[in-house]
């Protein structure tokens, strides 16, 4: 289709207009965001025409402990890892080791999707553009909350049990699990683990010397930002690192860590800085163009139209593509509990902007990045932190009425409710759970995801699991229903349907394995 041929125009050698830079103004916007949202730590950098015009850091690695964030501090970049995974594959395409239209099973013969036709037809390119037909975040409970006991091989094997919600290639729905498959395709082609490969093909040639992949030692590497949640008006450490950072299955989808300086080098590489060696370019122009081609249409939201005068939205290979105020925009965000990242490139202006935050910062990231981008697009108006924060507040005020309180008074389930759900249950991709008496109540315990344990309570006439880990913040309904053969099945659903889709409880379908032990 014509849409798929659309590519983001304008590398660093063809700018729309001269860019005016006021570093003091840019730094003040960062300071305003820190003050307004009381962020524990932040690192922001901006590249213009290949030169770093701003490195601005504030706050601490751990709130209240005095270790300052600086340009070498490691942050979880979360889904900004995806473009690096895509780049590894792109380099393999350049080297003639694979093609974008290779069937995945050519490189991973045991790979399966739920539909045999999709298994045969799904190509390497499809792993990167969120068109699988699975629902948003399908299978993410094998990745989060972490740490858990799933291996990378088990995550990939679990895909064959995830039922599609739509037809293959029919629509966009964000996923993480297929990026794990993409990383394993690259590893199979190269004959080495993905963490070794990404260090060789991305970190080393681009001078991203602080980036970490795979398993590594927190204290040996040092200067590692820790995630925080905003609780009772304070920044509280959550999901703090152990001494050894494990090689988690999600690495290729969102498990890399980098510093501000690393991410600025990454931005420079994509803006054409330091990669112009005609004999041995880091990435060919053909593969740069492929990465920034609109392979999959994405919804164009009302906010994008109102704030940015955008005309299209699409996904490339690890990048989101759109336009803002008449210039092209290439970007991605990354979100993990207590860690937020954002990278925005304006290729036509030669501009790259990096934002890394180690706290609850969904709104702060949106507001700050929007304000920074507008300094380079020629937009008129205030375009500061307060302006965009006020627009978001107005959106909330005009939104739908609040949902009924699902966190209302809890009571002990009735005897029939207990009988319906008590026992040992198994889902084919998530594994076994126990819903069994513990103390004076009923307890939900997952075998492979140990952080998913909580009390089963009755709220009105429904059963709800209230998780006991403070960093698992999306409670779930527990629903007994008829299954095949007249047996009882067990399903789950997010109490807040608008909560993070990575809590993909709706994809679970438990069958009874036996009685409580």
In terms of C-beta density within 10 A (0-12 exposed, 13-18 middle, 19 or more buried), how is residue 188 classed?
middle
Instruction: Say whether 189 sits in a helix, a strand or coil.
Output: helix
**Count of positions (residues) in the chain:** 517
Give me the pLDDT at residue 12, please. 42
What is the rounded average pLDDT of the residues 370-390? 96
Handedness of CA 229, 353, 77, 497 (dihedral sign): positive
pLDDT band at 11 (very low <50, low <70, confident <90, very high): very low
Question: 200: which DSSP letter?
Answer: I
Give helix 23-37 / helix 385-397 axis angle, nearest 10°.
40
In terms of C-beta density within 10 A (0-12 exposed, 13-18 middle, 19 or more buried), how is residue 258 classed?
buried
Residues facing residue 56 across a β-bridge = 44
> Order of strands, edge to edge, in the sheet holding 339-346?
51-59, 41-48, 351-357, 339-346, 327-336, 320-324, 313-315, 296-297
In terms of C-beta density within 10 A (0-12 exposed, 13-18 middle, 19 or more buried), how is residue 2 classed?
exposed
Residues facing residue 489 across a β-bridge = 481, 511
Task: Give the CATH superfamily of 10-89+191-396.
Answer: DD-peptidase/beta-lactamase superfamily (3.40.710.10)
The full DSSP string for 475-491 is: -EEEEEEE-GGG-EEEE
Question: 398: which DSSP letter?
Answer: T
Query: E-strand spans in 41-176?
Result: 41-48, 51-59, 75-76
Q: Is the pLDDT of residue 451 over 60?
A: yes
User: Are 177 and 143 within 8 A, CB to CB?
Assistant: yes
HSE-up of 33 (CA within 13 Å, CB side)? 35
Q: What is the CA radius of gyration of the chain?
A: 23
Round to whole Å and give the CA distance between 140 and 138.
6
HSE-up of 125 (CA within 13 Å, CB side)? 18
Q: Is the pLDDT of residue 1 over 50?
A: no
Give me the pLDDT at residue 7, please. 57
Give me the pLDDT at residue 15, please. 56
Phi, psi at residue 343, to the nearest 5°? -135, 125
Q: What pTM did the predictor assign?
A: 0.94
What is the rounded average pLDDT of the residues 488-512? 95
User: Are 125 and 103 within 8 A, CB to CB?
Assistant: no
- What pLDDT digit, counting tens, does each position of 40-72 carry? 999 999 999 999 999 999 999 999 999 999 999
- What pLDDT digit, counting tens, does each position of 324-364 carry? 999 999 999 999 999 999 999 999 999 999 999 999 999 99
pLDDT band at 20 (very low <50, low <70, confident <90, very high): confident
What is the rounded average pLDDT of the residues 280-295? 96
Handedness of CA 164, 169, 175, 181 (dihedral sign): positive
Residue with tokens 């020629």: 378
Q: What's the whole-number average pLDDT of the chain? A: 93
Give me the pLDDT at residue 13, please. 42
Give me the pLDDT at residue 483, please. 63
Round to whole Å and give the CA distance between 224 and 204.
20
Q: Is the pLDDT of residue 3 over 50?
A: no
Give me the pLDDT at residue 279, please. 65
What is the rounded average pLDDT of the residues 401-411? 66
Give me the pLDDT at residue 39, please. 98
Q: Is the pLDDT of residue 81 over 90?
A: yes
Phi, psi at residue 339, to the nearest 5°? -140, 130
Which two structure tokens, joined as six digits, stand for 449? 């995801």
Which two structure tokens, joined as six digits, stand for 421? 């759900």
The full DSSP string for 237-306 is: E-S---SEE---TTHHHH--EE-HHHHHHHHHHHTTSS---SSS-SS-HHHHHHHTB--EE----HHHHH
Q: Which CATH architecture has domain 415-514?
A: Beta Barrel (2.40)
Give me the pLDDT at residue 5, please. 44
Q: How many helices (H) and strands (E) does the chain have?
A: 16, 22
User: Are 424 and 409 within 8 A, CB to CB?
Assistant: no
User: Are 392 and 364 within 8 A, CB to CB?
Assistant: no
Round to whole Å and give the CA distance between 514 and 425.
7
Q: Give the residue extent of every domain in the chain.
A: 10-89+191-396, 415-514
User: Are 333 and 365 within 8 A, CB to CB?
Assistant: yes
Instruction: Say whether 26 sits in a helix, a strand or coil.
Output: helix
Give me the pLDDT at residue 385, please. 98
Phi, psi at residue 428, to the nearest 5°? -65, -25
Give me the pLDDT at residue 10, please. 46
Instruction: Say whether 452 sits in a helix, a strand or coil.
Output: coil
């Amino acid at each position: 289709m014509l849409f798929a041929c659309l590519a983001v125009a304008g590398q660093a050698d063809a700018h729309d207009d001269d860019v005016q830079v006021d570093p003091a103004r840019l730094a003040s916007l960062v300071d305003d965001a820190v003050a307004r949202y009381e962020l524990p730590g932040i690192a922001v950098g901006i590249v213009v025409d290949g030169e770093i015009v701003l490195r601005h850091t504030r706050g601490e690695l751990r709130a209240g402990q005095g270790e300052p964030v600086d340009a070498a501090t490691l942050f979880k970049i979360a889904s900004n890892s995806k473009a690096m995974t895509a780049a590894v594959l792109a380099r393999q395409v350049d080297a003639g080791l694979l093609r974008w239209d290779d069937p995945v099973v050519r490189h991973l013969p045991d790979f399966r999707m739920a539909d045999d036709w999709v298994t045969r037809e799904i190509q390497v390119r499809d792993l990167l553009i969120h068109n699988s037909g699975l629902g948003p975040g399908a299978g993410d409970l094998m990745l989060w909350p972490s740490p858990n006991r799933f291996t990378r091989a088990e995550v990939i094997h679990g895909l064959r049990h995830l039922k599609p919600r739509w037809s293959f290639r029919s629509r966009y729905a964000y996923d993480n699990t297929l990026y794990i498959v993409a990383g394993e395709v690259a590893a199979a082609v190269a004959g080495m683990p993905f963490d070794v490969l990404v260090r060789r093909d991305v970190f080393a040639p681009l001078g991203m010397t602080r980036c970490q992949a795979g398993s590594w030692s927190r204290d040996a590497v040092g200067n590692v930002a820790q995630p925080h949640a905003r609780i009772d008006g304070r920044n509280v450490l959550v999901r703090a690192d152990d001494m050894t950072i494990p090689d988690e299955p999600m690495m290729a989808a969102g498990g890399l860590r980098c510093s501000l300086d690393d991410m600025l080098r990454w931005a420079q590489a994509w803006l054409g800085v330091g990669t112009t060696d005609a004999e041995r370019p880091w990435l060919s122009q053909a593969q740069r163009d492929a990465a920034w081609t609109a392979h999959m249409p994405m919804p164009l939201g009302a906010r994008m139209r109102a704030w940015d005068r955008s005309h299209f939205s699409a996904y490339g290979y690890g990048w989101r593509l759109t336009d803002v105020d008449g210039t092209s925009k290439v970007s991605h965000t990354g979100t993990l509990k207590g860690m937020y990242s954002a990278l925005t490139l304006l290729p036509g202006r030669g501009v790259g902007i990096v934002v890394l935050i180690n706290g609850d910062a969904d709104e702060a990231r949106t507001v700050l990045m929007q304000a920074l981008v507008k300094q380079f697009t020629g937009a008129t108006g205030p375009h500061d932190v307060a302006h965009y924060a006020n627009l978001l507040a107005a959106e909330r005020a005009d939104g739908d009425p609040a949902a009924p309180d699902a966190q209302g008074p809890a009571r002990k389930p009735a005897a029939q409710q207990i009988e319906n759900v008590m026992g040992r249950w198994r889902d084919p991709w998530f594994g076994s759970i126990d819903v069994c008496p513990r103390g004076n109540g009923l307890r939900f315990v997952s075998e492979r995801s140990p952080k998913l344990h909580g009390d089963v309570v009755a709220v009105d006439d429904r059963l709800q699991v209230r998780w006991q880990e403070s960093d698992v913040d999306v409670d779930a309904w527990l629903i007994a229903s008829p299954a095949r053969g007249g047996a009882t099945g067990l399903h789950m659903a997010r109490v807040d349907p608008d909560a993070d889709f990575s809590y993909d409880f709706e994809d679970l379908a438990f069958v009874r394995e036996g009685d409580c032990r």
